[in-house]
């Protein structure tokens, strides 16, 4: 096989690519051993771990020794079981610090803008209420614009209803009660007169999204879904909006489905695991 | 080189051990890339990460691709920087669940019993106060015995003073105030009359250990140090005790030094990092 004359001098000989692939494959095996221990609850015997991975105990043992030396795995002196150790906690803490909902939502904002051709934004819970911190608008002649820093209603905006339904925070509850007291008879008309906040919560939790049509701004409809992190907390809300005539805000419509799917992808990248969360909830 | 007749049929040919070592070495490199990202705050450019590891960017990139595929690392779409991703959060959560102060303290209890020939125990904060949950006694003809389930004083036992000094919990404060109110004039005599709790706290925090001589039980001295986890919280206390005549409870003595070192080793295995904690404290 002729070698190209332009091969850089640091390039390894012809058999190197295969050896390199094998080495990278070995790194993947090390990672698989770590993830296997994690899937088994963070702790297992060599026999159980090897069976889980479908590898020989001798092979898994060699990788465990390497992970033990690196401090990622420890061994129980009594049971001889292997478990995820102090260095893995440090890796996790560093990863948790990187779990930034704004950065994680960037690709979703771009996809919503391009695929659905809608204005979309991310809002966080500020001290005055849900606050827009980042938005994208489609390349259309006429679009709905939103302003970074705008504070939205908890009771009448889709974004606010997601925070209201999915956060367990006395401050959010207090802001919502204040909004309710200050509301006009006209505004209250759309809410359940017996339990306005409780009914909103039940509806949004059941649908997984909040949708509004003309309740916050006449002629504007919106769909919003939560961005949840590894602790199970709503860190931000992803919202798409449009002029009511040309925007389908129904919870089963294609916009709501896409917003929900994008929000779920962001939540997964923030370490959220819905099933696990339900299984380990107290 | 003759092969032994008893070699198992799954054994690889003669050159396998070297190839195996290389593969395990490759797994260690993958781990080093992960830990490098963690040391750089969880996020770095390829150039910075390769320089930190002392490896070529091309080599580090191959391992990053493998870690990206496994979900342990993610790449920022805008800056192209690499950061620790959702699967690393999951590994960390699984490792945190394994951070059990009782299991982690087992080897330390065994060493204290054997090397210092003292009775030693681990206590946790129960709803009635510091509670002994595990103990070891030396193989001597006469030893001090303690009882699992015993609740100790916050103000007059070494164990209690560590909890009092190093936890920030209104419940502990309330229990200590109740003890103080119920105390006899004789018991109060050893405490600072102006600020009994505050002065105890200052002393224990400065020494890193709590030591008592005859204050809780006449003729008994003790030395205690905190077992701190990855969140910086005191999860349990490690205590050594002995008859006052034959046990040196001074904070600079060899028993206090050993107890402090063993407690620090347990805390490290629970993910505690004192420097890092100080550096990142708000």
> Could you write out the three-class secondary structure of A78-101?
CCCCEEECHHHHHHHHHHHHCCCH
At A63-95, the pLDDT tens digits run 999 999 999 999 998 899 999 999 999 999 999
Q: How far apart are CA B240 and CA B248, in angstroms?
A: 11
Q: Which of B64, B67, B89, B275 to mutate to test the interface with A (most CBs of A within 10 A)?
A: B89
- Shortest distance between the Cα of B270 and any Cα of chain A, in A, equals 6
Q: Could you tell me which chain B residue has the CA closest to the CA of A273?
A: B90
At B6-33, the pLDDT tens digits run 434 444 445 567 778 878 888 889 999 9
- pLDDT (mean) for B195-212: 94
Flag if B63 and A89 touch (Cβ within 8 Å). Answer: no
Q: What is the pLDDT of residue A279?
A: 41
- pLDDT (mean) for A219-230: 94
Q: What pairs with residue A228 in β-bridges? A: A234
Q: Could you tell me which chain A residue has the CA closest to the CA of B66?
A: A28
Name chain A contacts of B83, Cβ cutoff 8 Å: 95, 98
Name chain A contacts of B273, Cβ cutoff 8 Å: 90
Flag if A86 and B269 touch (Cβ within 8 Å). Answer: yes
Q: What is the pLDDT of residue A63?
A: 94
At A6-59, the pLDDT tens digits run 434 444 445 567 778 877 888 889 999 999 999 999 999 999 999 999 999 999
Flag if A29 and B27 touch (Cβ within 8 Å). Answer: yes
Report phi then psi at B130, rounded to 5.
-60, 130
- Shortest distance between the Cα of A115 and any Cα of chain B, in A, equals 18
- Shortest distance between the Cα of B273 and any Cα of chain A, in A, equals 9
Range of lowest pLDDT (A19-23, A208-212, A239-243, B215-219): A19-23
Q: What is the pLDDT of residue B25?
A: 85
Flag if B70 and A270 touch (Cβ within 8 Å). Answer: no
Residue A243: count of CB within 10 angstroms of its CB: 14
Q: Which two tokens stand for residue A205?
A: 């939790």
Q: So what's the ipTM on this one?
A: 0.80
Spatial contact of A239 and A118, defined as CB atoms under 8 Å apart: no
Name chain B contacts of A270, Cβ cutoff 8 Å: 86, 89
Pairing of strands A119-125, A130-136: antiparallel
Name chain B contacts of A72, Cβ cutoff 8 Å: 31
At B78-130, the pLDDT tens digits run 899 999 999 999 999 999 999 999 989 999 999 999 888 899 999 999 989 99
Residue A216: count of CB within 10 angstroms of its CB: 20
Flag if A91 and B270 touch (Cβ within 8 Å). Answer: no
Spatial contact of A247 and A255, defined as CB atoms under 8 Å apart: yes
Range of lowest pLDDT (A243-257, B16-30, B125-139): B16-30
Q: What is the pLDDT of residue A246?
A: 84
- Across chain B, mean pLDDT equals 88
Find the CB nearest A89 among B29, B77, B99. B99
Flag if B95 and A107 touch (Cβ within 8 Å). Answer: no
Name chain B contacts of A35, Cβ cutoff 8 Å: 70, 87, 91
Spatial contact of B146 and B109, defined as CB atoms under 8 Å apart: no
Q: Which two tokens stand for residue B34?
A: 């992960």
Spatial contact of A239 and A222, defined as CB atoms under 8 Å apart: yes
Flag if B41 and A84 touch (Cβ within 8 Å). Answer: no
Query: At what angle are helices A57-69 and A46-53 packed, to 10 degrees?
Result: 110
Name chain B contacts of A108, Cβ cutoff 8 Å: none
∠ at Cα B220 (B214, B225), nearest 5°? 90
**Rg (chain A; Cα; Å):** 25
Name chain A contacts of B67, Cβ cutoff 8 Å: 27, 31
Length of chain B as a residue count: 282
Q: What is the pLDDT of residue A15?
A: 55
A221: confidence class by pLDDT, cuts 50, 70, 90? very high
* Residues in contact with B203: Cβ distance below 8 Å, sequence separation at least 6, in sequence order: B165, B210
Q: Which two tokens stand for residue B16?
A: 């396998």
Flag if B23 and A20 touch (Cβ within 8 Å). Answer: no
Flag if B85 and A269 touch (Cβ within 8 Å). Answer: yes
H/E stretch holding A228 reads strand A220-228
Q: What is the pLDDT of residue B154?
A: 95
- pLDDT (mean) for A194-217: 92
* Residues in contact with B98: Cβ distance below 8 Å, sequence separation at least 6, in sequence order: A42, A43, A83, A84, A85
Flag if B230 and A93 touch (Cβ within 8 Å). Answer: yes
Q: How far apart are CA A99 and CA B40, in angstroms?
A: 15
At B217-243, the pLDDT tens digits run 888 899 999 999 999 999 999 999 998
Q: Is the pLDDT of residue A164 over 70?
A: yes
* Residues in contact with B233: Cβ distance below 8 Å, sequence separation at least 6, in sequence order: B167
Q: What is the pLDDT of residue A268?
A: 94
Shortest CA distance to B99 belongs to which of A138, A163, A43, A113?
A43
Pairing of strands B82-84, B119-125: unpaired
A257: confidence class by pLDDT, cuts 50, 70, 90? very high
Flag if B65 and A24 touch (Cβ within 8 Å). Answer: yes
Q: What is the pLDDT of residue B244?
A: 85
Name chain B contacts of A26, Cβ cutoff 8 Å: 22-24, 26-27, 30
Q: What is the pLDDT of residue B139?
A: 79
Find the CB nearest B66 among A27, A77, A94. A27
**Rg (chain B; Cα; Å):** 25
Q: What is the pLDDT of residue B15?
A: 55
Q: Which of B10, B86, B105, B273 to mutate to test the interface with A (most CBs of A within 10 A)?
A: B86
Flag if A62 and B24 touch (Cβ within 8 Å). Answer: yes
Residue-range domains of chain A with CATH: 16-97 (1.10.10.10), 101-280 (3.30.450.40)
Q: Is the pLDDT of residue B186 over 90?
A: no
Q: What is the pLDDT of residue A85?
A: 93
Flag if A65 and B29 touch (Cβ within 8 Å). Answer: no
Find the CB nearest B38 among A66, A74, A90. A90
Flag if B24 and A20 touch (Cβ within 8 Å). Answer: no
Spatial contact of B81 and B44, defined as CB atoms under 8 Å apart: yes
B56: confidence class by pLDDT, cuts 50, 70, 90? very high
SS3 content of chain A, % helix, strand, coil (to 5): 50, 15, 35
Name chain B contacts of A24, Cβ cutoff 8 Å: 26, 62-63, 65-66
Spatial contact of B162 and B137, defined as CB atoms under 8 Å apart: no
Spatial contact of A46 and A79, defined as CB atoms under 8 Å apart: no
Q: What is the pLDDT of residue B275?
A: 64
Q: How far apart are CA B187 and CA B176, in angstroms?
A: 13
Q: Which of B40, B68, B69, B92 to mutate to test the interface with A (most CBs of A within 10 A)?
A: B92
- Across chain A, mean pLDDT equals 88
- Separation of CA B58 from chain center: 38
Report phi then psi at A16, rounded to 5.
-60, -45
């Amino acid at each position: 096989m002729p070698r190209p004359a332009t091969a850089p001098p640091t390039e390894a000989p012809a058999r190197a690519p295969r050896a390199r692939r094998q080495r990278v494959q070995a790194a993947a095996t090390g990672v698989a051993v770590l993830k296997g221990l994690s899937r088994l609850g963070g702790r297992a015997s060599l026999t159980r771990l090897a069976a889980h991975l479908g590898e020989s105990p001798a092979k898994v043992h060699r990788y465990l020794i390497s992970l033990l030396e690196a401090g990622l795995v420890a061994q129980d002196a009594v049971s001889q079981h292997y478990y995820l150790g102090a260095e893995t906690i440090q890796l996790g803490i560093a990863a948790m610090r990187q779990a930034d909902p704004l950065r994680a939502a960037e690709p979703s904002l771009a996809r919503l803008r391009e695929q659905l051709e809608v204005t979309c934004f991310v809002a966080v819970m500020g001290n005055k209420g849900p606050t827009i911190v980042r938005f994208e608008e489609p390349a259309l002649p006429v679009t709905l614009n939103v302003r970074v820093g705008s504070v939205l209603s908890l009771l009448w905006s889709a974004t606010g209803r997601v925070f209201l339904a999915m956060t367990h925070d006395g401050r959010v509850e207090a802001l919502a009660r204040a909004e309710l007291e200050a509301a006009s008879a006209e505004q209250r008309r759309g809410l359940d007169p017996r339990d306005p906040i409780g009914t909103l919560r039940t509806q949004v939790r059941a649908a997984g999204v909040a949708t509004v049509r003309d309740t916050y701004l006449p002629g504007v409809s919106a769909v919003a879904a939560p961005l949840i992190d590894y602790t199970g907390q709503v860190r931000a809300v992803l919202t798409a909006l449009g002029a009511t005539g040309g925007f389908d805000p129904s919870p089963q419509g294609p916009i709501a489905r896409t917003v929900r799917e994008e929000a779920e992808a962001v939540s997964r990248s923030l370490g959220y695991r819905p099933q696990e969360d339900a299984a380990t909830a107290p």
